[in-house]
Structure formats: structure tokens, C-alpha cells
Amino acid sequence: MDKILIIDDNSGIVSALEMLLSLHNLQPLGAITPQAGLQLLREDRDIRLVIQDMNFSADTTSGEEGRELFFAIREINPDLPIILLTAWTQLEMAVEMVKAGAADYVGKPWDDNKLISTINNLLELGELQRHQRVSQQQALQARNDLAKSYDLQDIVYRSEKMQTLLEMATQVARSDVPVLITGPNGAGKEKIADIVQANSRLRGGPYVKVNVGALPEALMEAELFGAEAGAYTGAGNRARQGRFEAADGGTLFLDEIGELSASGQVKLLRVLQTGEFQRLGSSQTRRVEVRVISATNSDLPRAIESGDFRQDLFYRLNVIELRLPSLGERREDIVPLAMHFLRQGEAPKKLSPQALTALTRHPWPGNVRELQNVMQRASVLCGGDTIDEAVLALPAQPVADRAEMSFEPSRELLQQTLASCNGVIAQAARELGMSRQALYRRLEKHGIPY
């Protein structure tokens, strides 16, 4: 049975409420002075809700005593739901206290059914908040544990999807098998490759990065495997060491692997199978020990179907696949990343509630790279210490796109917006572009008191 504390100097009201609560399978605790009620709260941590009067002295109607009691309860348990018992003379004070965090107010005389319904709703919400706090604490603990156990290269994230990806990346890092990182451009595939390399047994060896997509096709093989003097026009009179040789005893990161030429794919397959290759223009076989991490934003299975990519090479590269979600798929990371990029500026700036909303609503087709560019530009152009939506200058989305986008504000955005609006629900809802009812549902979903 959930324990409900009643604090009212009128013993008749306490008795009536005790009987009402008992009839609905709730356990009432009564106190006729604020001091007695506060003592019960200190002694019993299982109290789930408080119903308190607004006045306790004879001939007092200001509600100041109730206000003092409310904040005293808040000091003992900041998350405890509090229902205010009010007369019409204290209505303005009650509304002010609801803005300060009281759960609700009920006028005297009260409606039994409405009061019980309010209590049950608050108890359910409180249970949900407790579960969410536990879940959030567990998620934070998991992030902290991962950061303590592995070198995460200062990656910034908050989402569960990234936590799952990083747990897998650090796990496979200990093995020397090839890893294929897939995901859209600008999402941070190179950062994931850095994390894999930093936690591998080869982390003390060379770490060579090659953007295959940026290499001219005529020079691609020479860049990767090296070339003898005069092997091709413009090769010069000196032999050239390739990236595989440079990475011997370490890790080679091949970005945009889907752009590798057909002949380059054959040679890469051989290196992966045997560790052997030949320089361009040479018949001498060379041997290296290299851990290959590759990345692509291409649809390699489709490239295999069209004959543009070798299936056997794909299976060699794809022993472990790490799929990096787009920024739009992990919207909880938008605000932490934006704040991180702002802190890198010479004069760190803040974001207005409107700017936070705009960042969260934007689809980010360019992913983390686009977000970084936007924040750097806004930091430079902002004349004050707060960046607003206009300074962000995010491109407007077509009407059809806006209709299809499902804007779901993160917990952090909800908390920041509510704080900036001093807890006024109507104003916060306007800032977020939603109705008050929609905002209430999201606050309850995230366990945010209001």
C-alpha cells in the first residue's frame, strides 16, 4: 500500500481524508502540525505523496505557512508529489506554488472521486519517474564504466544506440579480424575507427589512414601497395613505399572502400588472405602484418549485385560490421554534441531555447560534420553570449519534409526549455512548438517534474 502523508491542523479533515484513502487501498499518515509532518517525512522514506493545508494558525489566510511547509518538504525530498489543500483566498498562492513544483491543488470542500483520481495519477507518475531515474543512472554508470575501461577518444554521446555501438567496437578491438564500419557521410566513421585502433593490441604500432575515394584511380594501387621506380608515368626515379608497408605492424584505415578499383580489390583480397602483395612494377612478393579497418557509406551488397564490388572481398572485410547510425537516428546526441562544439570556441556561448528547439528539429542530412560546421559558424557570427535561432541560419525544410519529420524533444532539451521559462508550462510549450497537453505527456514520459 502506498503511504500518503496528510498535514492539516483540522483533525476532522485529517480523519475524513484518512477514511477516504483507506477505502481506496492507500495507507494514510496524519499530522496536525507542519513540524510533525516534517518529522514523519524524515523518519519514513516510503511516503509517496503529501497532501498539505495552506494555513495552520488561527485567523490566518495568507497561505504563507503552507508556502514555508512546501519548501521545507522540498528540501527533504525534492521529487515528492505535493497536493495543496486550498480555500479560494489562497488560490493565487497555490498557482504560484504549482509553478514552483507542486503537483496540483484541490479546493475545499474537495470532490472525493477527483481527489482519488489525482492521487492515483501522481502515484503512477512517481513510479514511472523512479524507474526512469534508475534507468538513467544505469545508463550513466554504463557510459562511465566504458570510459574507464577503454580509450574512447573523447567521443561525445548520450544515446543508447551509440552506447551499444561503442560496447561492440571496444569488444572487437581486441581481435585482429578486419572490421567494416558502415554509415552515412559525416556521421563519424573515422572516430569509430580511431576507437577500435586505440583499444587493439596493435595500438602501439603505426596507424595509417587512407581516403580511397580521394585517390585518383591511376594512382590508387601505387598509393596502397607502393611502386617501383618508373613503374608508371610520373613515378620518378625512386621506389615508392605504399600505405600497407607504412602500416606494417599496425593498423590501416581504408575510408570509402567502395571506391576501390577492380584491380585494387584483387590485390587487397590477396593481402587480407595471405598478408602478401607486390609493388606496382615489381615481381617481388612482400609480406606485412596489418590490421585492416575499412569504412563506407556505399551499399556494398548492391555494388556486388551490379558487379562493381567483389563478393569475396566483401566477406573478408565484413568479418565484423559496425553500423554507425545517422545523427537523425540518435537525436539525444544533438544537444551534447552542439554544446561540445561550442566549448571548443575561444569564447564559449550559450544556446537560447529557440535555438535548442531548432537544432533538435533539424534533420541533419550532413550528420555530425554538418552540426559542427553550423556551431562553428554560429559561434563566430553571434554578437553576444547567446546564440538564437536566427544566428544558426538552418535551412528551411520543405513543407512535406516537415510533416514527415517526427519531432521528439530530448530530455535535456525539455529540462533546459522548462528552466529557461521558469517552469511556466504554457511558455515552454510555445518555445517547443507544441500544445501544453503534448508537453505534459513528454514530461511524464521522461519523468521530469513540473
Averaged pLDDT, 408-426: 73
State residue 60's pLDDT score.
63
Q: ∠ at Cα 422 (418, 425), nearest 5°? A: 55
Which residues have a Cβ under 8 Å from the Cβ of 360 and sit 6 or more positions away? 331, 334, 335, 407, 409, 410, 413
What's the maximum distance between 2 C-alpha atoms anywhere in the chain?
Answer: 105
Model confidence band, residue 236 (pLDDT cutoffs 50, 70, 90): low
Model confidence band, residue 418 (pLDDT cutoffs 50, 70, 90): confident
State residue 365's pLDDT score.
92
Cell of 96: 504560484
pLDDT at 93 over 90: no
Q: What mean pLDDT is reported for the chain?
A: 87
pLDDT at 246 over 60: yes
Q: Say how far apart CA 123 and CA 51 lie, in whole Å.
A: 13
Q: Which of 219-223, 362-366, 433-437 is predicted with the least confidence, judged by mean pLDDT?
A: 433-437
Closest by Cα among 192, 175, 157 to 334:
157
Exposed, middle or buried: residue 138 (CB in 10 Å: 0-12, 13-18, 19+)?
A: exposed
Please give the backbone phi and psi of residue 162, each rounded to the nearest 5 degrees, phi first.
-70, -35
Q: Which of 176-180, 324-328, 400-404, 440-444 is predicted with the least confidence, judged by mean pLDDT?
A: 400-404
State residue 401's pLDDT score.
43
pLDDT at 369 over 70: yes
Averaged pLDDT, 292-298: 95
Q: Which of 193-207, 327-341, 383-397 is predicted with the least confidence, judged by mean pLDDT?
A: 383-397
State residue 447's pLDDT score.
74
Share of the chain above pLDDT 70, in %: 92
Which residues have a Cβ under 8 Å from the Cβ of 444 and sit 6 or more positions away? 125, 128
Averaged pLDDT, 407-430: 72
State residue 151's pLDDT score.
97
pLDDT greater at residue 254 or residue 383: 254
pLDDT at 234 over 70: no
Q: Note the pLDDT tens digit of each residue in 131-189.
A: 877 887 888 899 999 999 999 999 999 999 999 999 999 999 998 899 999 999 999 99
Chain position carrying cell 584505415: 253
pLDDT at 37 over 90: yes
Q: How many CB atoms lie within 10 A of CB 302?
A: 11
State residue 363's pLDDT score.
93
Model confidence band, residue 405 (pLDDT cutoffs 50, 70, 90): very low
State residue 422's pLDDT score.
63
pLDDT at 425 over 80: no
pLDDT at 22 over 50: yes
Q: Which of 9-13, 86-90, 135-139, 162-166 is predicted with the least confidence, judged by mean pLDDT?
A: 86-90
pLDDT greater at residue 418 or residue 387: 387
Helices 425-432 and 436-445: crossing angle in degrees, nearest 10, is 90
* Chain CA centroid to CA 27, Å: 39
Q: Say how far apart CA 348 and CA 370 lie, in whole Å.
A: 19
Q: ∠ at Cα 65 (64, 67), nearest 5°? A: 60
Query: 23-32: buried (b, 16+ CB within 10 Å) or exposed (e) per residue?
Result: eeebebbbbb
Share of the chain above pLDDT 90, in %: 53
Q: Which of 1-5, 149-153, 212-216, 293-297 is predicted with the least confidence, judged by mean pLDDT?
A: 212-216
State residue 141's pLDDT score.
92
